[in-house]
Structure 1
């Protein structure tokens, strides 16, 4: 990286060059006036000659300063205009960096970086609102339609029960969406220093999470393969419970009937590695790259209920604990979620 020049030194050099240029030009003009005899005519007026010299220096120095300042102040003026655009909500702004490698150049680079980040945040915010509106609207339309159908006096008892079942299912979906939005909002604004870290046994926590989801995996007759090393971890117990519930629930959701889910945890250097693996429908490369994105639910042909926030929440919880999470998967070959967390 190039060594950054001080803006103070450059400013001093600029003033110095302006003064030197003014002196040289004034001197040349003075010599020219002497040659054509104008100065000689004022030989008896020393103060007048001094006044003419100073006046010419002021005029020439001012002209040179105006020319130089226009170039020097252009990046600052561009920054001011860019800041005004940012204040108006226009984040699609870029200030061209034509300055040398100094503090002003660093300021322009930081401004462009800030504008780019704000643009990304604005895009994510707009996408979030769009996706949330869609996820909220779909069950509402379904509930409204089946509620209207219940008013039909000619509706059979079987059709009435089916309508009630759909309304209950969509209501549950809305409830889960609301809780996940609140949880995501909470953890996205939570700092590491506010984590309620305590020591607890990770293997016991994983077994408890499996029991909490018993109703779901019994419906699919899921078999379990567990290799859980008895080990302690210092972390936010409530958030880690949510992490494992989301990963295990995701594995159950995409597992086939009579499928097998394997969970293992063991020491990995100074960290702990937890692996949740299913033999379900798997993911394409595109789905795998976007699986942690908000509201992303993969292939719609899977026909699974969800709101696309579970894995987003899981990734954020891992991040809060300074850990890592990734997924390995191929279509129709299941998925493996690998989580690495520090023990302390």
Structure 2
């Protein structure tokens, strides 16, 4: 039985209770008047007493209804006032919850939870706008500054090349950030996975490692692979974004001459992909926010990035109905564990 129907039944019982209470109290009232002799037992004008009884019953019923409605409808009136406040964009309002497991109590509880979630979304939206504006503004300011320097006729060839390289680097950063924002927006608006095919997952992971060879070779990082032959039925392009982002993230935060291990094998409940590095690791606060948009654990921004890669990874895992866990300790490295269904 749904909650709306249950609420209707409760209202029926309330009205029935008021009617019975009114009738009983009216009967007791008349019996009392008969008993003490104020009213004679009706023999003449029999229609008179029913009319008086109806009037008395109406007065008693109205009084009981007024008291009951005040008690029953008070939380609903508070809820109506709160919804008007929420409609103005204020998500700080809360309705006082009532004890018990009534439908009105559940309604108020769910309303408070909804407003809390809306407040979190609003804070997240404002934070996203601020972070995006900052990340977008920084390279533009840098490009503009070095472009002005290039207009100096007395600039040496070495400095001119240095400034040109910086402009190219910042332009690539803007392009990558724009591409990642569009990609993340695409995945966030997507609810189901399309274009599924069956393919060799282990070969896909090897291809992703090879694609990033220039980056890990530059830092002389040793890559250790332990991949079982696994077939998966999924969107190959989508999972490529997942593996590339995780591997690239491990390369960024692994020191020169470091080690990265990548393993993938079939588990009882699906497929488990695990990537570990021996980098600097993360503290607890960073671990909690690692999947937030534009969040970067490296406050100095010494490592290139825009804080969107792991947000994309998280969304892809959600679309795949999988799970991702991060394990990390300061100075001991980081491990990402991804569990995916086979299909």
Give the TM-score normalised by the residue count of structure 1: 0.88
Identify the residue that residue 131 of structure 1 maps to in structure 2.
Answer: 131
1:306 Cα deviation (Å)?
0.6
Instruction: Label 1:160 to 1:9 Cα distance change in 2 as closer, same or farther (>3 A).
Output: same
* Residues 69 and 75 of structure 1, relative CA distance in 2, 3 Å threshold: same
Structure 2 partner of 1:203: 202
Name structure 2 gaps, 5 residues minimum: none
The corresponding residue for 2:230 is 231
SS in structure 2 of the partner of residue 120 of structure 1: helix
> For the residues of structure 2 that align with 1:302 and 1:36, how far apart are their CA atoms?
94
Corresponding position of 1:106: 106
Residue 239 of structure 1, CA deviation: 0.8
Contact 1:294–1:312 (Cα < 8 Å) also in 2: yes
Within-5 A mapping of 1:161-240: 161-192=161-192, 194-240=193-239
Where does the alignment leave 5 or more consecutive residues of structure 1 unmatched? none
Q: Alpha carbons of 1:228 and 1:98: their partners in 2 closer, same or farther (altered >3 Å)?
A: closer
In structure 2, distance between residues paired with 1:5 and 1:317? 39
Aligned match of 1:263: 262
| Structure 1 residue 105, shift from structure 2 partner | 2.9
Moved more, 95-104 or 221-230: 95-104
CA RMSD, aligned part only? Answer: 2.7
* Residues 1:7 and 1:224: Cα distance change in structure 2 (over 3 Å): closer
CA distance in 2, matches of 1:219, 1:340: 30
Could you report, residue by residue, the CA deviation over 1:28-53 in whole angstroms, capped at 9, with x for unpaired residues?
A: 5546766887646x986544444333
Q: Against the structure 1 CA distance between its residues 25 and 195, is the aligned structure 2 distance closer, same or farther, given a 3 Å change threshold? A: same
Whether the 8 Å contact between 1:5 and 1:102 is mirrored in structure 2 is no
Give, in whole Å, the separation in 1 of the partners of 2:226 and 2:57: 88
Residue in structure 1 matched with residue 80 of structure 2 by the alignment: 80
Note closer, same or farther for the CA distance 1:27–1:162 as it changes in structure 2 (3 Å cut).
same
CA distance in 1, matches of 2:283, 2:55: 78
Deviation by residue 1:225-267 (Cα, 9 ceiling, x = unmatched): 2222222111110011111110111111112223222222222
- In the alignment, does 2:336 pair up with 1:332? no
Q: Distance in 2 between matches of 1:228 and 1:37?
A: 100
CA distance in 2, matches of 1:309, 1:187: 12
**For residues 227 and 24 of structure 2, what CA distance do their matches in structure 1 show?**
85
| Contact 1:282–1:334 under 8 Å retained in 2 | yes
Q: In the alignment, what sits opposite 2:116?
A: 116
TM-score, normalised to structure 2, is: 0.88
Alignment length (residue pairs) = 340
Query: CA, structure 1 residues 100+251, in 2 after alignment: closer, same or farther (shift >3 Å)?
Result: closer
CA deviations 1:253-282 (Å, max 9, x no partner) are 112223222222222234222222222222
Secondary structure at the counterpart of residue 340 of structure 2: strand
Deviation at 1:199, TM superposition (A): 0.8
